[in-house]
Amino acid sequence: MLDKPETWVAVGFLLFIGLVLYLKVPKLITNALDDRAEKISNELKEAKILREEAHSLFNDYKKKQKEAEKISTNLIANAEKIAKDYIKESKEKLNETLDRRKKLAEEKIKRAEEEAVKEIQNKAIDIAINATSKSLSNNINDKKNSELIEDAINNLNKI
């Protein structure tokens, strides 16, 4: 039986198993596997925590983005309102300015008309005075002279 190779293989196998058990290799393997499992478990926990933090940050940034969009929408609405108010105010001021200038122009025209009428009246008076002085110089009698002056004065009042 000792001369069969299968016997020596069996003896060698039993010695190997004995040596492995004597050196506590299964316990070392188990400890190594347990350590590796614990390390993986810790990494998974850490990854889960990081994922939750990332998710929380993502939600915070979504909220901030929505708030920023609301603020920008409000700013745009306010800017549009301010622009409309400014346009309305500018139109009102322009209309007021145009009305003032129109009134000033009308007043200037009225004054110019009045001055023209006065100038015409003054010229008519000058002409009447010249005519009267010429008629006086031609030796018209006093009665005729008085009548001419009264006619000139009456004609001036008509103008």
Domain positions in the chain are 34-158
Mean pLDDT of 14-27: 82
Task: Determine if the pTM surpasses 0.75.
Answer: no
**Side chain identity at 31, as an amino acid letter?**
N
CA 97/CA 99 separation, integer angstroms: 5
Three-state SS at 159: coil
pLDDT at position 61, please? 96
- Percent of the chain exceeding pLDDT 90 equals 53
Whether residue 105 has pLDDT greater than 60: yes
pLDDT at position 49, please? 96
pLDDT at position 157, please? 63
